[in-house]
Structure 1
Amino acid sequence: MRMHPHFSKQIRPIFISIFIFLSFGSLSVNSIHAAEGPERIPLEHPKYQALIKELTEKHNFKADELKAIFKQVVFKKDIIDKFNRPAEHLPFHRYRKIFIKKDMIEKGRAYLAEHDKLLSEVEAVYGVEKEIIASILGVETRFGKPGIERYRAFDVLNTAFFLYPRREKFYRGEIISFLKLTRKEKLEPFSINSSYAGAFGVPQFIPSSFLRYAVDFDKDGKVDLWNSKKDIFASVANYLKHFGWKKNTLLYLPAQIYNDSPQLKKMLNRGFRKTISVAEAIKMGVEIPYPAKGDTLTSFSYFEPNPNEKELIALFGNFRAITRYNTSVHYALVIVHLSRRLVL
């Protein structure tokens, strides 16, 4: 998701000026759209007419019940600004300070010690290291205290769907998933609070992730991502395992360019999701240290460890699995750095 392209010194200022202009223009349009929008759902709007039709015809909901639920939604227009300014957009040396600090490390070590037996059990089943699970929960909800859940989840999902065109399609799907999961788990839709992005529970799952990856690890017949440590830990591990996590394999390594060719620049500019074998990358002009093996798939990203410094890193499967939890290289780096501090 985050690309870190090379730009020559001559064109960089021009690009940045254009980028700033377009970004602020985009923010203004979104802000005006949200500010002038309605406070509640206009059920007669074609978007909602089509959504209700799909929910009734494809997912067996009753139209009258849906309309009664939708009528209770209150749009939360302040979340639009938060969508446009996520913390992950900060330079890494600033973003890191939010999480890699003394109190977080102390809380994380205590959390690991308190739940060591259960985390070890989950690690044995799913192959995801317990310090990684703990670090994700630390970053998401400060080790199990979801104080960021300031909104009713269904309000958030509908606000993003109706008032944030950039993510309309995504949040339409999340509304459907949310209604399906509340029906499945017998939850009252407005009893669930979430972040501004619609993520909820201790592991901060969005509705579609809840349906696909949440696990009833305590075998009580329901998935509880608020109170059941077994379900919480196993769900995080199951999520990472699904996206390719393999125990005791590489996360990332420092990389250096020794042959700055147009072909290499093109490869580096295509984003961290695009993979290439280590052997191919070395032939192109990137030095990747041991223990990376030639047939291992890698990808690349830049980050700023300190102001005015930029470093290239080679990313491997486990690192990319973390970016499926949050599509930010900075987020994944923080998870890795925090996990290492928890076991020192």
Structure 2
Amino acid sequence: MPAETGAYRASQIGGDFAGYASLQSFIDYMAGKHGFSREYLYGVFSQAKRKQWTLDYLRKSDQSLKSPPGKGSWSRYRAKFLDERHINSGVAFWQKHKHTLERASRQYGVPAEYILGIMAVETTFGSFVGKDRILDALTTLAFDYQRRGDYFRAELENFLVMTRNEHLDPVQPVGSYAGAMGLGQFMPGSFLEWAVDFNGDGRRDLWNPEDSIGSIANYFAQHGWQAGQPVIAGIQGKPSSLDDLQHGLSAAYSPGQLQQRGVVPSKNCGCDGPLRLLLLRHQHGDEYLIGFPNFYVITRYNQSTHYAMAVHELAQAIKLKSAALAAN
């Protein structure tokens, strides 16, 4: 078993989380399941700070989730990412890490532009990886965010296992307000399962561009990315029955089921499905698209049609500009 990292020892929990019976139970669980010393975890959690801002922000976000997407919602979301800053940063990152991206594409079958699309949306290629300590974020959400407390307690468990395995001081790493880490913003559970040491230095370091490139590519491959297959397509003609079909990620159709309703993709994915009917609400009107299995793979990173579309469009824009520069 790897050694615990950091000189943290205490006889009880102090600081912002002193007196939390649920945290005491969690420490007992970590000691029993993973062999952590209680005194070590008392010392670690005595360093944790409660993030009230995060709780307030997520409660507001929870309220907005209950509302259906309004007119222009995709236009507003798209404008946050499809700009010169994201595209130019992607082109520069591709030029700098060309050989690593090519190696990842060969090994995992994932085009370089989609690896870049993830980094563009998540952190603009590392320009903002977050400023909250992971320990603070996950401890706050594990024990004070009722709606998803079980999820964040599991991620806190994963984080402590990860830091011990990788010989990291658990108080030091910083990331997003929700505990995501590195250029690709992996949660600790994703790190344990899909992060790779792509530069061969013996460590998995998601703040390192090479390890991040390999890890994102591996994530896509392990979630079913189909090499050489398209991501989305338009719809031929103007079927009259679109409003009768369920759109979004939860409804899956075979090509035959859509064809029976007059919904035919403008390109053939060469697959039996499952296909998703996507609704994008522009300022000037609504647009329906077909999401192929590779589109669904992108949504395994973030379960949002808008997110996956932003990744897809940025991937294409970065690829197009990179090709244009190479041709000149």
- TM-score w.r.t. structure 1 length? 0.81
Residue 54 (structure 2) aligns with: 79
**Which runs of at least 4 in structure 1 moved beyond 6 Å after TM superposition?**
86-90
Q: Conserved in 1, the CA contact under 8 Å of 2:129 and 2:181?
A: no
CA, structure 1 residues 222+91, in 2 after alignment: closer, same or farther (shift >3 Å)?
A: same
Distance 2:132 2:20 in 1: 25
CA separation of 1:225 and 1:327: change in aligned 2, threshold 3 A? same
- Cα shift readout 1:160-194 (whole Å, capped 9, x = no counterpart): 11221111010010000000000000100111001
SS of aligned partner of 1:297 = coil
> What secondary structure does 2:50 align onto?
coil
Q: Is the 8 A contact 2:15 2:47 kept in 1?
A: no
CA distance in 2, matches of 1:294, 1:127: 17
CA distance, structure 1, for counterparts of residue 102 and residue 151 of structure 2: 35
Contact 1:162 1:168 in 2 (8 A): yes
Alignment-mate amino acid for residue 284 of structure 1:
R
| Corresponding position: 1:63 with 2:38 | yes
Whole-Å separation in 2 of the counterparts to 1:163 and 1:136: 30
User: Which residue is 2:298 aligned to?
Assistant: 322
Aligned mate of 1:205, from 177, 186, 192: 186
Cα offset for 1:109? 1.2
1:300 and 1:159 map into 2 onto residues whose CA distance is 37
Q: How does 1:203-242 map to 2 (within 5 A)?
A: 203-227=184-208, 229-242=209-222
Q: Which amino acid aligns with 1:73?
A: A
Instruction: Answer yes or no: is the 8 Å Cα contact 2:87–2:317 preserved in 1.
Output: yes
Alignment of 1:37-186 (within 5 A): 40-45=16-21, 47-83=22-58, 84-85=60-61, 91-145=73-127, 147-186=128-167
- Any stretches of 5+ residues in structure 1 without a counterpart? 1-37
Tell me the secondary structure at the aligned position of residue 177 of structure 2.
coil
Deviation at 1:129, TM superposition (A): 0.4
Contact 1:278/1:292 (<8 A) preserved: no
Paired position in structure 1 for 2:10: none
Q: Describe the superposition over 1:26-56 as per-residue Cα deviations: whole angstroms up to 9, x where unpaired.
A: xxxxxxxxxxxx98113442x2232112111
Q: 1:243 maps to what in 2?
A: 223
Whole-Å Cα distance in 1 between the matches of residues 61 and 93 of structure 2? 30
Counterpart contact for 1:73–1:155, Cα < 8 Å: yes
Residue 153 of structure 1 deviates from its aligned partner by 0.7
Percent identity over paired residues: 32
Q: How big is the shift at 1:103? A: 2.3
CA-CA distance at 1:258 after TM superposition: 2.6
**1: CA distance between counterparts of 2:20 and 2:266?**
60
Secondary structure in structure 2 of the residue aligned to 1:190: coil
What is the CA–CA distance in structure 2 between the aligned matches of 1:101 and 1:222, rounded to whole Å?
A: 34
Residue 276 of structure 1 aligns to a residue whose secondary structure is coil
Task: Give distance in 2, aligned partners of 1:235 and 1:82.
Answer: 29
Q: C-alpha deviations, 1:271-302, integer Å up to 9, x for none?
A: 41442211112113423223244723201221
Residue in 2 that maps onto 1:191:
172
Equivalent-residue separation in structure 1 for 2:192 and 2:226 (angstroms): 23
Long gaps (5+) in structure 2: 1-13, 321-328
SS in 1 for 2:52: coil
Give the drift of 1:327.
Answer: 1.3
Q: Is 1:252 matched up with 2:232?
A: yes
Pick closer, same or farther for the CA change 1:39–1:68 going to 2, 3 Å: closer
Counting matched residue pairs gives 299
**Counterpart of 2:272 in 1: which secondary structure?**
coil
How far apart are residue 214 of structure 1 and its match? 0.4
Report what 1:288 is aligned to. Answer: 265
Q: CA RMSD in A?
A: 2.3
Provide the TM-score with structure 2 as the length reference: 0.85
The one-letter code of the counterpart of 1:291 is N
Is the CA contact (8 Å cut-off) linking 1:131 and 1:339 kept in structure 2? yes
Q: Structure 1 CA distance, aligned partners of 2:48 and 2:85?
A: 38
Task: Indicate yes or no: 2:276 matched with 1:299.
Answer: yes
Cα shift at 1:240: 0.7
Is the Cα–Cα contact under 8 Å of residues 234 and 267 in structure 2 kept in the other structure? no
- Cα distance change on mapping 1:336 and 1:192 into 2, 3 Å: same
Counterpart residue identity of residue 333, structure 1 = M
Q: 2:256 aligns with which of 266, 276, 279?
A: 279
Contact between 2:129 and 2:182, CA under 8 Å: does it hold in 1?
no
For residue 268 of structure 1, the aligned residue among 246, 249, 260 is 246
Query: 2:285 — aligned with what?
Result: 309
Instruction: Kindly provide the CA deviation profile for residues 316-338 of structure 1, in whole angstroms up to 9, marking residues without a partner as x.
Output: 11111111111111111011101
